[in-house]
A and B are shown apart, each in its own frame.
Chain A
Amino acid sequence: MGLYIGDKMMKYEEWSKLAIKVSKASLWMLHFCTGCGAIEMPPVMTSRYDMERFGIAPMATPRQADVLLITGYLTVKTLRRVIQVYEQMQSPKYVIAFGSCTINGGMYWDSYNTIKHLEKYIPVDVYITGCMPRPEGIINAFIKLMELIDEGKARGWEKYQKYYDKYKENQRRVFNFEIEGENEEY
């Protein structure tokens, strides 16, 4: 069952198949409702679309959650909180980015304080396109995520561990609004 006593654990190869099966069938979600996408969540949770039939349940804190669902645009200030929350989640953890804002900034493509590509700061496993995506899109993304977990491709959290320094460098740059070769102080 993937339980090993003592120091022998924590090898990726020993990640048993049953553990993959159970982690795919029980995705607990933390919805970081910053943008307008939050309005799509109630239909997904309630009787019309009912995400609970796939074992997906909303959680209150990142410690308990497996999936971080980011619903919409992120300013630099919000990004700091998102990263804080992401780092508090327990591995294996996945990120679903919702709406075009997280892909390329969307309608905030030229805003001075909205980040454009979420993937540069935290690894994203599944994107949902659209402005707004429909609830079916969210369900579809979760099913896609389940497939990816099953195939062993949803490894964003491993990527984050592996390239931790690079991610931290990107995050530091954007938090400090640091433009290369330009250090003007207003």
Chain B
Amino acid sequence: MKSIELIGKGKEMHGRAYIEVMPDELENAIKKLKENGFNHFVMLSCIDWLEEEKFELVYHLWSYEVKEHVMLSVRMNRNNASMPSMSHLFPQIETYEREIHEMYGIEFDGNNRLTPFLLENWHHAPPMRKDFDSEKFVGKLYESIPFIEEDENEGI
């Protein structure tokens, strides 16, 4: 596949190219792909590998010329996770980074708009992390709010 040839590593996975890169190689890899026809940035996704204490960011790119989907995977430590922002390469990455910052708590250096985005008034742990116990949270918040019972004696 063209992208694997360009970067020099990676493998084919379900018809797509899957390339693992180091955080410091990422910028050059995206730049190289962009210059060689992979000019559609599809999306940025994130996976929480709780057991391995890692976050995995996946940058999806697409080339209209060779009709090829490439996934650039980069891993980082789970504690104080941070990555350099790629929004200067594709401006739309900024919005994905905002969402991932809000949902996973990953810092993106160089992105100035990491403000509250989708959640209003949220001040708990980032909810998409695997150590965020959603069930327990629901029990503590939603189930603890009381029903409003009418006082039978008073009537309305």
Question: What are the residues of chain B within 8 A of A167 when measuring CB–CB?
Answer: 148
B24 interface contact, C-beta 8 A: no
Chain B, range 45-91, C-beta contacts under 8 Å to A:
none
**Cβ B148 vs Cβ A113 within 8 A:** no
| A12, A112, A178, most chain B CB atoms within 10 A | A112
**Cβ B135 vs Cβ A110 within 8 A:** yes
Question: What are the residues of chain A within 8 A of B124 when measuring CB–CB?
Answer: 177, 179, 184, 186
Q: How far is the CB of B154 from chain A (nearest CB, A)?
A: 8
Question: What are the residues of chain B within 8 A of A162 when measuring CB–CB?
Answer: 156
Given known pairs A76-B120, A162-B156, A182-B140, the reply for A113 and B146 (CB within 8 Å) is no
| Stretch of B11-19, B30-38, B126-134 on the interface side | B126-134
Contact of A186 among B126, B143, B150, B156 (CB under 8 A): B126
Q: How far is the CB of B57 from chain A (nearest CB, A)?
A: 20
Question: What are the residues of chain A within 8 A of B126 when measuring CB–CB?
Answer: 186
Chain B residue total in the interface (Cβ 8 A): 26
A46 interface contact, C-beta 8 A: no
A21 interface contact, C-beta 8 A: no
Given known pairs A110-B135, A112-B134, A116-B138, the reply for A177 and B147 (CB within 8 Å) is no
Question: What are the residues of chain B within 8 A of A176 when measuring CB–CB?
Answer: 121
**Cβ A111 vs Cβ B138 within 8 A:** yes
A174, B53: Cα distance in complex, Å:
32
A178, B119: Cα distance in complex, Å:
14
Question: What are the residues of chain A within 8 A of B142 when measuring CB–CB?
Answer: 105, 115-117, 174
Q: How far is the CB of B84 from chain A (nearest CB, A)?
A: 23
Q: How far is the CB of B120 from chain A (nearest CB, A)?
A: 5
Instruction: Mark each residue of chain A from 96 to 120: 1 if its CB lies under 8 Å from any CB of chain B, else 0.
Output: 0000000001000111110111011
Q: Which residue of B lies closest to A171 (CB)?
A: B145
Q: How far is the CB of A151 from chain B (nearest CB, A)?
A: 14
Given known pairs A120-B147, A166-B148, A170-B145, the reply for A109 and B121 (CB within 8 Å) is no
**Cβ B141 vs Cβ A174 within 8 A:** yes
* Given A117-B142, A119-B148, A175-B121, 19 new contacts (CB under 8 A): A105-B138, A110-B135, A112-B127, A112-B134, A113-B119, A117-B145, A155-B156, A159-B150, A167-B148, A170-B145, A174-B142, A176-B121, A177-B121, A177-B123, A179-B140, A180-B144, A185-B123, A186-B124, A186-B126
